[in-house]
Structure 1
Amino acid sequence: MNSTLFFLGNRAITALEAAVAAGLILLVCLLLLLISARAQLRRSGDAEIAAGERIEDLEGHLSKVMQSQGEISGRMQTMAEIFGSRQSDMMRAVNERLDGMGQRLGNSMVHTTKQTHEGLRQLHERLAVIDRAQQTITDLSGQVVELQSILANKQTRGAFGQGRMELIIQDQLPSTGYSFQATLSTGVRPDCLIYMPNGAPPLAIDAKFPLEAFQLIRKAETEEGTRAGSAQFRRDFTKHIGDIKDKYLIPGETQDTAFLFVPSESIFAELHERFEDLIQKAHRSRVVIVSPSLLMLSIQVIQAVLRDAKMREQAHLIQAEVTKLLDDVGRLNDRVGKLQTHFTQANRDIDQILVSTDKISRRGQRIEDLELGEASREVEADPATSDEEQFNLTSP
């Protein structure tokens, strides 16, 4: 009943107020009718009876209206109380729901906050990883730029290839098995000489790969540039192979085969893929092109050969030691035989000693069993009798 039906100006009109207003309006209308009837009775005396009856009817109706208004007011009050209790129940239920929703909203906010913090933490960790990766990429970029600057200069590029070759050889061979920048009888100085076993000539290694024309092939953007770079590379490579053959393959002083070291596996693979004719030309010139992995494998083979040669050099020493060992074993066998003879003689001596001790024990027992009498005293009286004669006289 307290619900708003409409607004009158700035005032909200409820259902209870509207019902009360309607009853008052009805009461005012009845009063106006009664006043009008009385006025008509004054004007017309002839209709006094009809007016009186009408007035009585109106008064009856008015009393009924007043009674109905009282009943309506009671019902309206009861309904107001019912609606008030229901409104309080509804407000309590609404408050409970609002509290539950607030609690759920708070929990959801806390959970969302935790998830947000966890996501931010993971994001910071990933950003830190990305920063480290970016720093690593920056460092690698600097190293690549530095490597490009090194490879752009012929002298620094040669030093780079020389350094890689030296590291591989130093890791695989002892310091007496190689020599860097050694001078040959012709005055040339190969990048490395690997000393072979049994007085064999050393193996020469060259680390100056002609990379200028190869870089022209990689940088070429047109087919014509690629052909020009390939032609320049073929000329440079053929000249370098001839220089190695003429300078480092000296009969009786070096091996009849030399190594050309390529400091990059990718260049080595591309060389075999695109310039097979140059590879064959190098083989015919007894120049073997090796990458870092092939050089390492070749050094391991040389190391095994050196180890085998050292074992062969020490074979006569091993034979001499084995002969001495056999002589020592023979002497040990003779001495064991002599010791066995001594043990046998000692056993016989021990057996004889046991026989003597057994005889002594038996004689002692017989002496213990003797009955001493006059004969024994006579024997004792004659000092000239020997111990053996005394023993025979006193024996039973």
Structure 2
Amino acid sequence: MWVSVIPIVISVISLILLLVLVLRKDLGAGLRSEIIRLDEKLQGLNSLIGKTEQAIRDEARFNRQEIAQSLKNLSDSSEQKLENMRQTITNHLQAIQRSNEEKLEQMRATVDEKLQSTLEKRLSESFNQVSERLESVHKGLGEMQKLASEVGNLKNVLSNIKTRGTLGEIQLEKILEQTLTPSQYEKNAKINGKIVEFAIKLPGKDEEEVLLPIDSKFPIRTYEELLDAQEKSSCELVEELSKRLENEIKLQARDISDKYIAPPKTTDFAIMFLPIEGLFAEVLRRPGLFQSLQSQYKIMVTGPTTFNAILTSLQMGFKTLAIEKQASEVWNLLAAVKTDFGKFTETLEGVKRNLTAASNKIEEAEKRTRIIGKKLKDVQALPAQQAEGILGPAEDIEDEPRETE
């Protein structure tokens, strides 16, 4: 590229010099000759440059040919190496593929075997679970059928007036059994020729028992109709049924009051037991009904929870009375002990006098012993065996009777 530029530069310089010559004709002859000489040199230089350029072009052509041949040789060598590498890689890939296929086949066989065993195991477990659940469902259906039968029986029981009364009586008896002892209440107690379901025995005057009558009532039909009306949100029907329930409760309270309240054999009030808390709540919900039953008929209405609380209070009263009775007995016992203790004091004083007299006798004997010892101090003592031979053994000496004061 630079070789082709040089002639252009020289030509430009020559043109410039010619222009200078044309523009300055008044230059000296020496300068013109010098310019001519320079022009000749430039022409020679231009010729030399042309030759050099041709030589460079020839050299470049030769170099291009060598480079092309080298590139061809390199390309052929690279293609051969690439072919060899491709072949080697192909062989390796084929070997890897065969190895992978073999391993995949082994893995497939192993997986198939494990899947088969797992599938069989899972299927077996699933069948067992399904069987167990079916059995549970079958059992649950049996229990539901049994429950439905029991519900039907309960419905039949609740629809029968006599059986409803029996149900309330059974529940009442269970509560009494759990709270009181059998001696504290009486079942089917007879009052004025009438039989009341239960009566609690309370202490009265002169240790005579006073009975507290308890009777269970269960107006279930009206109560169920009231619940249905409340679910349907029928205000008028609810009020009508509530009034009917109130009247039924009042009639039953009057019946209990007329039959079973008979002082002094009984208390001046009786208890009406309602076996359902909801029914008891309806009685409390009616304005003034609870107070009216107490003031007009002397009847206390209770539900299961309230009745339990009343029995607990009565049980505490029974325990308090028992404690007071036992305290009286303990007081009498202490009075008797006090009397005996006075006699015991007299006995102790007599023993003390006897001990004092005995102590005086012992002191007197000690004094006499010391006196005898002083009198016998000049007498020579005999050996023990010889003294025993003269006086005899101590066991043979009989105690002389003591002189009483």
TM over 0.5: yes
Q: In the aligned structure 1, how far is the partner of 2:375 from the partner of 2:118?
A: 116
1:262-292 Cα shifts (integer Å, max 9, x gaps): 011222223323x233223212222111112
Select 2:288's aligned residue among 250, 267, 277: 277
Report the alpha carbon displacement of residue 207 of structure 1 after superposing the two structures with TM.
0.9
The separation in 1 between residues aligned to 2:132 and 2:342, in whole angstroms, is: 78
Task: Assess if the C-alpha contact under 8 Å between 1:201 and 1:253 holds in 2.
Answer: yes
CA drift at 1:140: 4.0
* Counterpart residue number, 2:217: 208
1:323 aligns with 2:335: yes
* Cα displacement (A) at 1:223: 4.9
**Match in the other structure for 2:202:** 196
With structure 1 as the length reference, what TM-score do the two structures score? 0.60
What is the identity, as a one-letter code, of the residue corresponding to 2:191? L
**In the superposition, relative to structure 1, how do residues 202 and 82 fare at CA in structure 2: closer, same or farther (>3 Å)?**
closer
Structure 1 counterpart of 2:360: 348
Q: Does 1:254 align with 2:266?
A: yes
2:158 alignment counterpart: 151
Displacement of 1:123 = 7.5
> Partner amino acid for 1:147?
L
Q: For this pair of structures, how many residues does the alignment match? A: 296
Measure, in 1, the Cα distance between the counterparts of 2:116 and 2:257: 82
- The alpha-carbon deviation at position 322 of structure 1 amounts to 1.0
Residues 270 and 102 (structure 1 numbering): CA distance in 2 closer, same or farther, change over 3 Å? farther
**C-alpha deviation, 1:261, in angstroms:** 0.3
Give identity over the alignment, percent: 21
> 2:202 aligns to what SS in structure 1?
coil
- What are structure 2's unaligned runs of at least 5 residues? 1-81, 383-405
**AA in 2 matched with 1:196:** L
Summarize the Cα distance change of 1:123–1:359 in structure 2 as closer, same or farther, 3 Å threshold: farther
Distance 1:284-1:129 versus aligned 2 partners, 3 A rule: farther
CA distance in 2, matches of 1:116, 1:340: 102
2:180 matches 1:173: yes
Amino acid at match of 1:204: P
Superimposed CA distance per residue, residues 211-249 of structure 1 (whole angstroms, 9 cap, x where no aligned partner): 332222224455554444334323322222222233333
| In 2: Cα distance, 1:252 partner to 1:365 partner | 98
Paired residue for 1:39?
none
- Give the distance between the partners of 1:111 and 1:365, measured in 2 at CA: 121
Structure 2: distance between partners of 1:344 and 1:144: 92
Q: Deviations over 1:82-115 (max 9, x none)?
A: 8556633542355346646766787788788878
- Provide Cα deviations, 1:325-364, integer angstroms capped at 9, x if missing partner: 1122233333333333333333333333334444444555
Q: State whether structure 2 residue 318 is matched by structure 1 residue 306.
A: yes
What TM-score does the superposition give when structure 2 sets the normalisation length?
0.59
Local SS of the residue matching 1:196: strand
Match of 1:87? 94
User: What does residue 171 of structure 2 align with?
Assistant: 164
The 8 Å contact of residues 197 and 305 in structure 1, kept in 2 or not, is answered as no
Secondary structure at the aligned position of 1:242 is classed as helix
Q: Runs of 5+ in structure 1 lacking a partner?
A: 1-74, 371-396
- Assess if the C-alpha contact under 8 Å between 1:210 and 1:240 holds in 2: no
